[in-house]
Amino acid sequence: MSGTSDKIKGLANEAIGNVKQGVGKATGSDKLQVEGKIQEKKGEAQQVVGKVKDAVDKK
């Protein structure tokens, strides 16, 4: 029940979200900026889940 995969997925989602936001800003696409922000927040949440799983495993 390692949180490593959640943390990796979270980092990937966060990075992709940041790229989407940048492309959205560069192209003037509000939709892409919003999608990027949502994906970034999803990634942050996944990382938290991974950290919690790791903390539970250490007990």
Query: DSSP per residue over 7-56, as a string?
Result: HHHHHHHHHHHHHHHHHHHHHT-HHHHHHHHHHHHHHHHHHHHHHHHHHH
Tell me: pLDDT of 43 over 80: yes
pLDDT confidence bin for 54, thresholds 50/70/90? very high
* pLDDT of amino acid 32: 98
Q: What is the pTM of this model?
A: 0.85
Which pLDDT value is given to residue 18? Answer: 97
pLDDT averaged over the chain? 95
Q: Mean pLDDT throughout 14-38?
A: 98
**Domains: count for the chain:** 1
Tens-place pLDDT, residues 26-35: 999 999 999 9
Which structural domain range is residue 27 located in? Answer: 4-58
